[in-house]
Structure formats: C-alpha cells, structure tokens
C-alpha cells in the first residue's frame, strides 16, 4: 500500500505562500534520512520500452534487494516524452511508473523520480533561438520547451499528489551534456554561459510551477534542480541563478553528477592528453604512477575533498542539500589481468568508499549508477539480468565496493569475495571466440585442417536463409624449406588457403574458396550468399543441412585462425545466430587443434576481432571500427528515422536524422567516444537497440 501523508489536500490558495500549516519536511530535514542512494539505471528511462536495453521491469525481489544492500534512496531515471501522445502522457505508463515508485516507498526508501534524456527534447535544447544540438545549428524556442516541461510535470505531479515526503521529483537529468564538440569554450563543447543558465532556470521554474500548482503534498514536495550538464564546475552558474520556488525557500535540492573521466569512464587506451587511471591513491601496483589517480588529479582524495566542500558552502550551508544523482567507475575487465586487475578492482572499491564518505560529510546524497550489465565496463552491484548472467535477482556482484560504501554509513560488512572470483574465473561466460592452431606435418604435400559444426537437428531446414556471415582472421608463416630440397623454387613452396563448406541431403559436399592466407591476414567479416554462382555456397538440399565448416588447405604452414559470430541471414535482413562459440568447442580435425578463448581477455587479436558484427533478436547488424559505427537494418516503409549512440550512463555521443527506405538500409555514425555504448535506430514505432563497444 502506498505511503500517503496524513494531510493529503492543501487548499490551492495556499500554494504560493512560503509555507503551509501542513507542509512536508524541508530538504534539510529529509537529507539526513536519505542515506546512500542507488540508480535503477537503463530501465525506466529507456525510450518507449523499459526492457529494450536488456533489463527486466523492476519487481519486488529486486527492489527489496536494493533495500537489503543498505540503500535508502532510489533514483528512478524516467522517460516521459516517448510515452506521450499529443502532449498527454499515457495513463498506462503513469501506472507502470507508479508501480516502481510504490515498490521503493513501501520498502521504506526515498524515491527520486526524474525526467531523463528521452530523445533530448529538453536536455539537448537548453538555449533560445539559434543554437547547437547534436544535429548541428538549429532554432529552439525556450518558451515552447518550458511549456512542454510544465505540461508533463503537471501530469506527473497530479498522479502523485497525495504521496508523502518519501517521493521526490527531479526536474531534469543532465541538461546540455550532449552539446556538440565544435571547439567551444567548455573543454571543446559549445559554451554553457550565464545566458544559457537563464534558459535552464526557466525550465526548472516551469517544473516547480507545475508541481506546486497541483496541490496536495506537492505544494511543498522536494524538487531537485540540476546544474548545467550536472557538472560540478558548472555549479556556480546554478548557484548564481537558482530557480525561484513558489513554495518558498527550503523545498528544493541541487543535483550534480560525478564521473572523473580518466578514472571513471575512459576506455580504449591512453590519449596524448592523458592516461587512463586504472588505480587510485595507494591501491596501485606501485610501479605504474602514470595510470594511478592521485595527487590533484580529478577523482583523487584531494580533488574530491575540494569539490565536495565547495558544494557544501555553495548550497548545503544555505539550506540546499545536494544530490549526486549519478556516480561510478567502470570495471576495466578486458584491459587488465592477474594482480593488476585485482589492484584495479580494489582501487574502485576504495574510491567508492571514500567518495560516498566525503559526500555524507558535506551534505550530499550519493547515488551510485547501476546498469544491470555485468560485462566489460560495467557498474553493476546488484544482479537483475539472471537470464543472461545466471544466479538470482538481488545477488551482490561487487561485494567489496558495496562494503566500502556501507562502512561509510556505519553498516556492517556483508560476506563474500567478488574480486578474487573475478580475477580467477573467466571474465565473461558469453563472449568467447574460437582459436584454431594449424601446423602441417609434411613438407610438400597438401594437408587439411577442418573446423566442422554438426547441426543440432538431423534435418536442419535452411530454406529461409539466403546467406551466412562470420568474423575471421588467419595469420601465420606460409613459406619454408621443402621436404625435397632439390625441388625448383623450393623456398617459395609454402602456401595455404581457406574454404567454406557444407554437407546437405545425402551428405552432398559443396565448397567455396575464401582466398589464400596471404590475403586473409586482417580481421574481416565475411558474408557468403547461398547459391550456385561463383563466390556463392551451394546447398544441395536447403531443407536438409547436415553440417557446415571451414577448411584450411596448405603446406609449409604454421599459424592461427580466430573465428566468431557465425550468423544466418534471412531475405528481410534479419539474422539468427548459428554459432557464437560460447559454450562448446566444435569438431576440429586434421592439422587443426584449438580452444575456446575469452573474447575480452588481453591479446593483440582482440582489437581486431571484437567488437564484431552482432546478431540475434535486434534485427540489426552493426560493425564497429575506430571512430565509426555502421548499422544495417531493414525498414518496413520509407519514412524519417533517427540513429543514436548513447554511452553507458545514457548520454548521447552521436546521432543522425535520415530517411530510411523500405527494405535494406545502412547508416553510419561517427564518434570519438570509446567504451560501452547503446546503438538505437528508430523509425516511427519501430525501434532497434544493440549494445556495442566503441573503440
């Protein structure tokens, strides 16, 4: 049952008074009870469908696990615009959001319900008139955006008017964070100055006006307002032009986020302007100071103390507590191994502990970001994707980090050791590739090495498929002395070539050459159509395919093949995964031996083989190259479409508007961002989503 304040209705004539006889507690009264905060990330803020980014809809077991882990505030990033029709938020979506809010409050926690990015309708347009968004130079009416903000918040506030102080509203998320990189004054971004702060103030005041106008407990409900881009160094702009609240002083909080980039988000390697920080303060191997966050570096103890004490004097000391709405640091699982990986994970835990302790000391509510993913670059503390990662909903996936934060709040340590298990066990159970090793046994006669996949069904029907694709690289030595040293041209005798084969019907063998090894030395995605023409693979009986595989023929050859992501293509451009090599090694024969290897462990081949084309249910194939992402998808009609890249904290790092044609389409996005990301291609009601790793 929803917790509702005793006095549910306040006369509308009192809405614009500074206080009410039945006012909810002020922000400074609520702050000490809010404790440690947690984000249900990558879920309710997903445009249109909260499960599109891989997380299940929050249920009672998951929310109880958040409480049991020691959190007392839950931030619920939320989308609204993509759930609205003609300016009206769908009633069913409001009910869905209410379900999550009720789960949080009924577990005795505070819920912060915000308006998240959701296509950038507000957050990408914090300017009036001509300005820049991700598409370039455009015109935006601040009055129109503010009117939309007011309309949405009036609907949201009406839905929740009777809730007590355990429900808190937040005006926006990271306004202006997606400003384009065009050589501007703010570290390369378009400058966020006093004039733009006036626009952001207008947006915040539109939210405050809407909430207060709905009466009930909303007359004095706490509303959180964000600094530009929620960056701490932009907090002075918010302080100088703090929004005016019709309820009077004391019923708002400020919000910043804290991701010190080199320690928290930087992936893909060092840059000429700075190194990746794997380690922190004394949690370091001792011989790698260049990759250790310490001294005055952003994210060090000294910088945290300075930044947070500045927030205290600027806001908390004036009766305005501050919410760190998001904070965290990714796990660099693919970049490190052994003792270095252990030190990195220990450094993360120590950083989380120190950061939340400093926040508590300075009147800040720290809310950790959690995405639910458990692969490379994840922030996850509490498990929810059990279908993908196993275990149970609510399992703690990062005990040491959680315990470091619990200690800062005087809570007892929970049992367990996830750092050692992460270091000692394979880093991923669903990201493997096949490594085949070839070594000829004779010197001057052709030998074959075979990788064969026997299909699971006795009579596999491939009649619906038109092609097969896979990621492959072959490298090695293909020349050497012949067995017969008198043979003319002996020094050039070594050779090797690769072919794709299948057996179907009455075990009829068909084969197509992929080329010589000398032409296959770089990682490539191969797509072979089924058919009888040159370069195609014939299927004698498409409705009765027995097996498929790859042969390497050669002499004087010693080398390696890396193989991953064998996909079957349908005529409409969608794909099914034939083999991802995650579970079982296929049959290897002749001169071929091999192993399944982790595709996110250290090794030179990884930079080429991962990330590769991705398949399965997204109905989209994606190829990632440095600075460039190419997506192939099928559209049902010709109509306007949008492609977006969002990083692991939901920020848009690239987007493009285009017209998709009926049938097959290709769209390319450029981005200098590196690390985990989400690619979204949207056309009308059709939305395709795929997790990728930008490099």
- CA 135 to CA 643: how far, in whole Å? 11
- CA 212 to CA 157: how far, in whole Å? 8
Residue 1 has a pLDDT of 38
Residue 5 located in a structural domain: no
- CA 546 to CA 551: how far, in whole Å? 16
φ/ψ of 262, rounded to 5, equals -65, -30
Spatial CA neighbour of 502 closest among 556, 471, 462: 462
- CA 432 to CA 213: how far, in whole Å? 56
Same domain for 164 and 187, yes or no, is yes
Residues 6 or more apart in contact with residue 144 via CB below 8 angstroms = none
DSSP string for 306-320: HHHHHHHHHTGGGT-
Residue 129 has a pLDDT of 96
pLDDT tens for residues 181-203? 877 788 888 999 999 999 999 99
Q: What is the CATH number of the domain that holds 297?
A: 3.20.20.80
363 vs 471, higher pLDDT: 363
Same domain for 602 and 619, yes or no, is no
Same domain for 552 and 617, yes or no, is no
Residue 202 located in a structural domain: yes
Q: Which domain holds residue 437?
A: 432-609
pTM above 0.75, yes or no: no
Residue 528 has a pLDDT of 92
Which of 52-66, 221-235, 348-362, 595-609 is least confident?
595-609
Same domain for 70 and 199, yes or no, is yes
DSSP string for 533-551: STTSB--S-TTSEEEEEEE
Residue 600 has a pLDDT of 44
Residue 6 located in a structural domain: no
Same domain for 336 and 480, yes or no, is no
Residue 4 located in a structural domain: no
Residue 598 has a pLDDT of 65
Residue 658 located in a structural domain: yes
**Domain-ending residue, one of 376, 401, 423:** 423
473 vs 451, higher pLDDT: 451
pLDDT tens for residues 40-99? 999 999 999 999 898 999 999 999 999 999 999 999 999 999 999 999 999 999 999 999
Residue 1 located in a structural domain: no
Which tokens hold the place of 58?
A: 């929050």
pLDDT tens for residues 332-379? 987 887 788 899 999 999 999 999 999 999 999 999 999 999 888 899
DSSP string for 205-256: HHHHHHHHHT-GGGGS--EEEEPGGG-GGGHHHHHHTPPPPTT-TTSEEEEE
Same domain for 453 and 390, yes or no, is no
Select, from the ranges 270-279, 400-409, 569-578, 617-626, the one with the highest average predicted confidence (pLDDT): 400-409
Q: What is the CATH number of the domain that holds 690?
A: 2.60.40.2550
**Domain-ending residue, one of 546, 576, 609:** 609
Q: How many domains does the chain have?
A: 3
Same domain for 615 and 574, yes or no, is no
Same domain for 467 and 419, yes or no, is no
Residue 108 located in a structural domain: yes
562 vs 530, higher pLDDT: 530
Residue 554 has a pLDDT of 83
Same domain for 385 and 508, yes or no, is no
List the beta bridge partners of residue 168. Answer: 112
Same domain for 347 and 467, yes or no, is no
Residue 491 has a pLDDT of 52
- Please give the helix or strand (H or E) that residue 592 lies within, else none: strand 592-598
Spatial CA neighbour of 451 closest among 493, 383, 514: 514
**Domain-ending residue, one of 609, 638, 665:** 609
Same domain for 622 and 572, yes or no, is no
DSSP string for 461-485: --TTEEEEEEEEEEEEE-----SST
Cβ atoms 377, 330 nearer than 8 A: yes
Residue 391 located in a structural domain: yes
Q: What is the CATH number of the domain that holds 471?
A: 2.60.120.260
Same domain for 58 and 202, yes or no, is yes
When the pLDDT of each residue in the chain is averaged and rounded to a whole number, the result is 85
Residue 47 has a pLDDT of 93
Q: How confident is the model at residue 413 (pLDDT cuts 50, 70, 90)?
A: very high
């Amino acid at each position: 049952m929803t917790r509702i304040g005793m006095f549910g209705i306040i006369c509308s004539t009192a809405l614009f008074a500074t206080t009410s006889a039945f006012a909810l507690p002020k922000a400074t009264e609520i702050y000490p009870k809010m404790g440690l905060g947690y984000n249900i990330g990558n879920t309710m803020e997903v445009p249109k469908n909260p499960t599109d980014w891989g997380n299940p809809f929050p249920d009672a077991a998951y929310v109880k696990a958040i409480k049991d882990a020691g959190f007392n505030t839950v931030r619920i990033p939320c989308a609204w615009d993509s759930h609205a029709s003609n300016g009206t938020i769908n009633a069913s979506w409001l009910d869905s959001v209410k379900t999550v809010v009720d789960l949080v409050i009924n577990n005795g926690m505070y819920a912060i319900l915000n308006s998240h990015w959701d296509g950038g309708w507000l957050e990408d347009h914090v300017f009036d008139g001509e300005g820049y968004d991700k598409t370039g130079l455009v015109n935006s009416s601040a009055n129109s955006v503010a009117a939309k903000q007011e309309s949405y918040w009036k609907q949201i506030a009406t839905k929740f008017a009777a809730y007590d102080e355990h429900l808190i509203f937040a005006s926006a998320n990271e306004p202006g964070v997606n400003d384009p990189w065009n050589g501007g004054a703010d570290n390369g971004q378009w400058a966020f100055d006093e004039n733009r702060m006036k626009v952001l103030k207008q947006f915040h005041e539109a939210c405050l006006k809407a909430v207060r106008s709905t009466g009930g407990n909303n007359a004095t409900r706490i509303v959180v307002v964000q600094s530009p881009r929620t960056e701490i160094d932009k907090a002075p702009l918010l302080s100088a032009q703090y929004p005016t609240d019709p309820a009077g002083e004391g019923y708002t909080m400020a919000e910043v986020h804290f991701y010190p980039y080199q320690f928290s988000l930087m992936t893909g390697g060092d840059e000429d302007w700075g190194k990746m920080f794997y380690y922190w303060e004394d949690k370091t191997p001792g011989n790698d100071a260049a990759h250790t966050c310490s001294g005055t570096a952003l994210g060090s103890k000294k910088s945290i103390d300075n930044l947070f004490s500045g927030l205290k004097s600027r806001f908390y000391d004036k009766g305005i507590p501050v919410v760190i709405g998001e904070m965290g640091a990714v796990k660099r699982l693919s970049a490190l191994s052994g003792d270095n990986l252990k030190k990195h994970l220990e450094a993360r835990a120590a950083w989380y502990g120190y950061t939340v302790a400093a926040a508590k000391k300075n009147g800040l509510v720290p809310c950790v970001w959690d995405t639910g993913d458990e692969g490379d670059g994840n922030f996850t503390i509490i498990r929810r994707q059990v279908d993908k990662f196993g275990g149970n909903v609510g399992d703690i996936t990062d005990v040491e980090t959680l315990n470091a934060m619990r200690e800062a709040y005087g809570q007892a340590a929970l049992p367990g050791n996830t750092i050692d298990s992460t270091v000692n066990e394979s880093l991923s159970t669903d990201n493997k590739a096949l490594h085949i090793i070839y070594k000829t046994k004779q010197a001057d006669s052709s030998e074959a090495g075979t990788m064969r996949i026997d299909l699971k069904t006795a009579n596999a029907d491939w009649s619906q498929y038109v092609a097969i694709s896979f990621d492959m690289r072959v490298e090695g030595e293909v020349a050497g002395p012949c067995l017969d040293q008198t043979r003319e041209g002996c020094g050039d005798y070594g050779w090797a070539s690769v072919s794709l084969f299948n057996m179907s019907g009455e075990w009829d063998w068909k084969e197509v050459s992929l080329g010589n090894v000398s032409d296959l030395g770089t990682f490539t995605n191969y797509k072979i159509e089924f058919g009888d023409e040159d370069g195609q693979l014939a299927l004698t009986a498409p409705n009765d395919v027995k097996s498929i595989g790859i042969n390497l023929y050669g002499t004087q050859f010693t080398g390696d093949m890396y193989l991953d992501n064998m996909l079957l293509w349908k005529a409409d451009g969608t794909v099914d995964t034939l083999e991802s090599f995650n579970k079982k090694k296929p049959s290897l024969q002749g001169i071929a031996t091999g192993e399944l290897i982790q595709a996110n462990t250290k090794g030179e081949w990884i930079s080429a083989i991962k990330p590769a084309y991705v398949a399965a249910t997204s109905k989209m194939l994606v190829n990632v190259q440095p600075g460039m992402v190419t997506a192939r998808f099928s559209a049902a009609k010709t109509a306007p479409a949008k492609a977006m890249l969002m990083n692991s904290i939901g920020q848009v790092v690239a987007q493009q508007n285009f017209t998709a044609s009926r049938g097959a389409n290709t769209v390319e996005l450029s981005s200098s961002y590196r690390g985990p990301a989400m690619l979204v291609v949207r056309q009308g009601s059709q939305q395709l989503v795929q997790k990728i790793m930008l490099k």
